[in-house]
Amino acid sequence: MIGMGTVCQSICLAALEYGLGTCIADQGIWYDQVWRKYADIPENKVLVEGISIGYPDENFPANKLISMREPVDAITIWLGFD
C-alpha cells in the first residue's frame, strides 16, 4: 500500500506539470461496481485508490481553502543530518 501511495503521488505531481489538479479519494472505489461498468474493469482486478484529475476552477470557494499541515518535524525522525 505504501508503494501505491508513491504511485498516487507521482501521478498527482505529473498531472500538475500539465496544469491539471488532482484529488486522491478512496471513497470513489467504495462504489467499485460503477467503475467496473463504465471503465470496463474486470472483476479479477482490485481497485485500491481513485484519483480525480481535471482543470481546477480556482474561483470555486472550496478550491480557495488552504488546509493546515502537520509540521514535517512532528512526523519525522532525522538521523545523520546534524
Provide the binding-site residues for ligand FMN, judged by CB under 6 A.
Answer: 23-27, 67
CB of 23 to ligand FMN, least distance (A): 5
What is the grid cell recorded at 28? 470513489
For ligand FMN, the closer of residues 27 and 44 by Cβ is 27
For ligand FMN, the closer of residues 16 and 25 by Cβ is 25
What is the grid cell recorded at 5? 501511495
Q: Show the DSSP H helices in the chain as ranges.
A: 2-17, 32-39
Number of H helices, E strands in the chain: 2, 2
CB of 81 to ligand FMN, least distance (A): 26
